[in-house]
Chain A
Amino acid sequence: MIQSLLQYTLPILLASFGGLVSDLAGTLNIALESLILLGAFVTYVVSIHAQSPLAGIMAGSLASGAVVLVFYTLALKGRANIFVTGLGLNLLIPGAVATASSLMYGTRGVLRFDNFPLQPTVLSVPLPLLFSYAMLACIWYLISASSAGLRIRAMGLHPHVAQIRGVSPFRTRIAALVISGLACGAAGGLLVLSLRAYVPNVSAGRGWIALAAIYLGKRRPWGVLAATVLFGAAELAANIAQGMFALPSPLFMALPYVAAVTALIIQGLISHRKKPS
């Protein structure tokens, strides 16, 4: 039970932490959803070619990071609206991934591992999982205990003051955004490795749920952790309920979105009981 809860929570948590870093820098990355998808696809491709899930998930993470680096550099240098750029990535990446899938494998559908590469383990924890934990720990340390984290926060809160204190806006923001890309890529990798297949639309709204979790967790690591556990538990419960009641599948797919909106509203009701904005 705890293991499956972890399996549902971890990808959302990784994506959420990535998004949180970008949000703290004042440039929320709304392309989490498609960056998860990209990480998932690249993880599949590299895992098969290198016969190593660890190489796969690292490549997936790097691929999403690289895409963020290229497109958000363009956006920041060209002073574009970063929400619109993020939205553009959310359309462009699924198109590009499906095209790549057609060209490489002749299908836009499900890609299975014919023989799943062996997962080497350390103390019986698979290496890709260890990689994800390490990434989570690094991000947590970065935002709550490091001076780089302080610079990122300063850039988000008071960009002008930070700039006068010698913090480069471009470098700080692009670094925060690239971290969000790396985290989402790893999240996608985890999804593929735990499903043992690449499924189109494997991200299934998790990037957006992760964004909701940032707000729900009030932009604090513990809060975000709690929010993602909540969403992970909701997903797990929905899957168990699906097994018992056989809900029509479109309604079942709507559940995570409904859960996210409901959670946001409930949190709003609790924290804004008196004061209207």
Chain B
Amino acid sequence: MKGKLVVSLLILSLTTLLLALLSPEPAETIVRFFTGPFRNIYAFGSFLSSALLLVIAGTGISICFRGGQFNLGGEGQVYSGAAASLTAALLLPLMPGFIAKPLLIAAAMITGFLIAALSGWLRHRFSIHELISSYLTSGALVFFCDFLISGPLRDEESFLIATQRIPGAYTLAQLLPPSPLHSGIFIAAAVAAASHIFLHRSVWGYRLRMFGEQSTFARFGGISPRTYRIMPIGISGALYGLAGAVALLGIHYRGIQGFTAGLGWNGIAVALIAGTSPVMTLYAALLVAYIEIGISSAMAGAAVTYDLGLIVRGAILIVVTLKVLKRKQEELL
């Protein structure tokens, strides 16, 4: 816990420093950074709705890490999940919402699972490191989804590079209008709870953790290496896909080019800050969402907002695994 506090404070002070350096009026910018998410209902709802996406994405990556694997394909998996959901929503005949929603979410999760599982299988079958194969497949898929949204699915009448809206019956209920907070928050809570039960109360979770810590020992214990090379990264892919679907059905309601960008990397940041426990995932997701919303309200309109977000995300990853900052039991990697 102390280690996480040190990491959090370090990240917050780094961000503040960067904002002060890049802003023409440092004092005002810093005040806006810290008060940003609480400025009004809309900002607060945006803060919670990005945090809930990060809970889903971060939980998946935590499971992947516990299984001893590294999934760098988050960007492509979130985007492809969202695109699968979107394609199904726009092309299938109109259905009642209670049938459509689970179907669209399942489409996204299966898509994410298959993409990530491919990397796990390549690692098992051909010893190709999943770090590289997951990034490369994701790189290709990001451009493919850009193509879908800017080409075949594009709404010609829109000024944005965007598709038509999905039918109103398919969207997740808004909880705090006019803010984007939506009922996906229950999905995020269910994911966090289910993953805790899976990892710590089920035999599969036990095997997964054992395989992650000592794959040779696990193999002697009769644990199938194929299953446990595919399962952890596959689960993270499925949850990335789910995050993509929730972003579509809960926030954007239509495909916009690059609309899920950043979620993949932030999921990794959340999992690394959180270490292992689901409770900590909630904390880490809130922290990362706070920083993202804080930056965008502090630098509103400035051209460097996006770049600053990148710099802060990078800085988080660079400091978060430094062992000098944490005690031994908090080590994840």
Write the residues of chain A forming the contact surface with B, with a CB cutoff of 8 angstroms: 30, 71, 74-75, 78-81, 83-85, 87-96, 98-99, 102, 108, 205, 208, 211-212, 215, 248, 250-251, 253-254, 257-258, 260-261, 264-265, 267-269, 271-272, 276-277
In the assembly, what is the distance between CA of A220 and CA of B309, in Å?
38
Which residues of chain A are near B77, meaning CB under 8 Å?
Answer: none
Taking a contact as CB atoms under 8 Å apart, the answer to whether A99 and B318 are in contact is no
Which residues of chain B are near A84, meaning CB under 8 Å?
Answer: 268, 272, 317-318, 320-321, 333
Taking a contact as CB atoms under 8 Å apart, the answer to whether B308 and A99 are in contact is yes
Select one of A108, A208, A251, A271 contacting B307, CB under 8 A: A108
B1 on the A face (CB < 8 A): no
Taking a contact as CB atoms under 8 Å apart, the answer to whether B143 and A254 are in contact is yes
Taking a contact as CB atoms under 8 Å apart, the answer to whether A91 and B125 are in contact is no
Taking a contact as CB atoms under 8 Å apart, the answer to whether A264 and B122 are in contact is yes
Taking a contact as CB atoms under 8 Å apart, the answer to whether B131 and A71 are in contact is no
Select one of B126, B132, B265, B303 contacting A108, CB under 8 A: B303
Identify the stretch in B48-56, B84-92, B133-141, B283-291 within 8 Å (CB) of chain A at 4 or more residues.
B133-141
Select one of B125, B140, B310, B324 contacting A78, CB under 8 A: B324
Taking a contact as CB atoms under 8 Å apart, the answer to whether B314 and A90 are in contact is yes
Identify the stretch in B145-153, B170-178, B179-187, B241-249 within 8 Å (CB) of chain A at 4 or more residues.
B145-153
Known: A84-B317, A85-B318. A272 touches B143 (CB 8 A): no
Select one of A30, A74, A81, A251 contacting B333, CB under 8 A: A81
In the assembly, what is the distance between CA of A90 and CA of B265, in Å?
11
Taking a contact as CB atoms under 8 Å apart, the answer to whether B310 and A91 are in contact is yes
In the assembly, what is the distance between CA of A76 and CA of B303, in Å?
35
Taking a contact as CB atoms under 8 Å apart, the answer to whether A79 and B122 are in contact is no
Specify the main secondary structure of chain B where it touches its partner.
helix
Select one of A75, A96, A258, A264 contacting B311, CB under 8 A: A96
In the assembly, what is the distance between CA of A258 and CA of B143, in Å?
11
Select one of B128, B146, B316, B322 contacting A215, CB under 8 A: B128
Write the residues of chain B forming the contact surface with A, with a CB cutoff of 8 angstroms: 22, 70, 72, 122, 124-129, 131-133, 135-137, 139-144, 146-147, 150-151, 225, 265, 268, 272, 303-304, 306-311, 313-318, 320-325, 333
CB distance from A245 to the nearest CB of B (A): 15
Known: A93-B314, A257-B140, A277-B127. A250 touches B150 (CB 8 A): yes
Which residues of chain A are near B325, meaning CB under 8 Å?
Answer: 78
Which residues of chain B are near A93, meaning CB under 8 Å?
Answer: 314
Select one of A95, A215, A251, A269 contacting B310, CB under 8 A: A95
Select one of B22, B304, B316, B322 contacting A80, CB under 8 A: B322
Known: A95-B308, A248-B151. A85 touches B132 (CB 8 A): no
- Among B70, B265, B317, residue most surrounded by chain A Cβ atoms (within 10 Å): B317
Taking a contact as CB atoms under 8 Å apart, the answer to whether B125 and A272 are in contact is yes
Known: A91-B317, A92-B318, A95-B308. A250 touches B146 (CB 8 A): yes
Taking a contact as CB atoms under 8 Å apart, the answer to whether B146 and A87 are in contact is no
Taking a contact as CB atoms under 8 Å apart, the answer to whether A75 and B126 are in contact is no
Select one of B143, B309, B324 contacting A253, CB under 8 A: B143
In the assembly, what is the distance between CA of A88 and CA of B146, in Å?
24
Known: A78-B323, A88-B315, A277-B127. A215 touches B147 (CB 8 A): no
